[in-house]
Structure 1
């Protein structure tokens, strides 16, 4: 199980003064130091990428994600989508997808997570990443120049799909490297310790908004107090919760408010898992809630979970 520590012989990929912007992985020989986050190729796993985002860092790597969590955030009020946006998408002829991973929505792409034995569909303009990749947000208050802190994240998902990973480009810290911010992303993670599907949803959803759009501020986050029952088109019963930010104090060319939805359910092994989607809000290309709910409606079980 991935512990967040660099493999023996690898240098800590965090710089002493990392940028605060998301950098999607770019080819690199790795190594530490300097003013740029580095890409490190890890043997027996996929590439580990430590990069910055609007409010923290994005981390990708081969890993199980049960321990890729940080503390909870203090949230308030309710961030649920409008009732018209929470209705399930029309049932497809093959809601569970085929044995080979055929999409439940014709023309869409299938995203399979072997670790948790789950799958979902995304529209054709999304980019489906490797099942071995892990993405999440690091804590801006953690000193990542200390190797002991490497890999500590607020929240993370595995086997992700990303919408417009180069949606916003900037070089706010003037280090000469253009930073890339994705418009939205989705994936699945474990919910170890959850006592119910509602607990799985509520314990994760606000972390995406905090980690990706507001940290270190928590006051601008509005989150559901209770999770709502939800059943996908394949018949998976669980619970959903929403979180959104309003008037985030973040600054910079690519700073925006954000939203997230989490669906808590059980995999075929009876373990609690959570499907998460987060994205920028208040922008021209914002992913509509109706599309988010259509994507969510395709979440289904797919094979036997490979996790131990």
Structure 2
């Protein structure tokens, strides 16, 4: 999963505090080995294959659905959210003149899908062309033919504490990392509605980042909830989280995801997702997640149609 300094005082499944590890690769009894999913982050370009130093993984960027393979179908997701107040006009507002909807926050723009949202100042806003996602724990990435086969990926991301939990991979001795939280947008190809997009992707992010290859530890609601952002974008929200993930390793933690399915200005179904570790001292509060979600808005003409 992602990378960063571990939760303050949070213990890993083996009772060690990841922050006490040496800064140099070393033999590991738990580490990032076992069945831990690896996070991937690369520049999206159909002609370039980029090695990911943080994880040692490879992903080929590009593609109409953010370069991810194996997206979930009939899945579900947990909890509801109160809709935000729409503008008096009743129509979604486009852009925000480059200014954040929340003063002091950072703007995250995704020109591929024509969307934008804001994050607090301690988040790291990546290039719009960057893809982040998770490898498939069942795929052999030593075979170049499998490069680019991510379980799920998103573009135009923002990451909170990229080096939140660090560990050593048992297979190659490289340090791997886990993000505390991340957010971004992806296409919802194949979804039948905004609710369908939200339900399927929320659970898929939890599966990809926190429970592979297990789905039984994922808790989710059977239906999405209508939601309207501050700018008047209407869609559906869904949540999912894991409990007692069977994944092993220093940076194996339970996770949660919130997905907002909606249509961009071209009428295409897209999904905004924020995922992160749960059950840890540094866990991103739901109140902050909802405040970030409330800023999701349309931004310009989408490049992908």
Q: Do they fold alike, i.e. is TM over 0.5?
A: yes
Partner in structure 1 of residue 72 of structure 2: 72
Residue 96 (structure 2) aligned to one of 87, 98, 117:
98
2: CA distance, partners of 1:237 / 1:199: 14
**RMSD, aligned α-carbons:** 3.2
The CA deviation at 1:142 is 1.5
Task: Give structure 2 stretches of 5+ with no counterpart.
Answer: 1-31, 88-92
2: CA distance, partners of 1:297 / 1:154: 27
Task: Give structure 1 stretches of 5+ with no counterpart.
Answer: 1-17, 26-38
The CA deviation at 1:182 is 0.5
The CA deviation at 1:147 is 2.6
2: CA distance, partners of 1:135 / 1:24: 5
- Tell me the alpha carbon deviations over residues 261-292 of structure 1, each in whole angstroms, 9 at most, x when there is no partner: 11000000001000011100000000011111
- Tell me the alpha carbon deviations over residues 202-258 of structure 1, each in whole angstroms, 9 at most, x when there is no partner: 121111111100001111001121111000000000001100000011111111000
TM-score (norm. length: structure 2): 0.78
The CA deviation at 1:90 is 8.0
Partner in structure 2 of residue 297 of structure 1: 294
Residue 225 (structure 1) aligned to one of 209, 222, 226:
222
Q: Mark the CA change 1:241 to 1:128 in structure 2 (over 3 Å): closer, same or farther.
A: same
Runs (4+) of structure 1 exceeding 4 A deviation are 18-25, 41-47, 50-53, 56-60, 73-76, 88-92
- Tell me the alpha carbon deviations over residues 46-81 of structure 1, each in whole angstroms, 9 at most, x when there is no partner: 77344786xx968474554355131527867x6215
Partner in structure 1 of residue 150 of structure 2: 153
The CA deviation at 1:43 is 7.5
The CA deviation at 1:143 is 2.0
Higher relative contact order (Cα pairs below 8 Å, separated by 6+ residues): 2
**Retained in 1: the 8 A contact 2:231–2:297?**
yes
2: CA distance, partners of 1:170 / 1:120: 31
SS of alignment partner, residue 134 of structure 2: strand
Q: Mark the CA change 1:171 to 1:108 in structure 2 (over 3 Å): closer, same or farther.
A: same
**1:133-144 alignment runs, 5 A limit:** 133-144=130-141
**Retained in 2: the 8 A contact 1:65–1:134?**
no
SS of alignment partner, residue 204 of structure 1: helix
Q: Mark the CA change 1:166 to 1:63 in structure 2 (over 3 Å): closer, same or farther.
A: farther
1: CA distance, partners of 2:190 / 2:45: 31
TM-score (norm. length: structure 1): 0.77
1: CA distance, partners of 2:38 / 2:152: 15
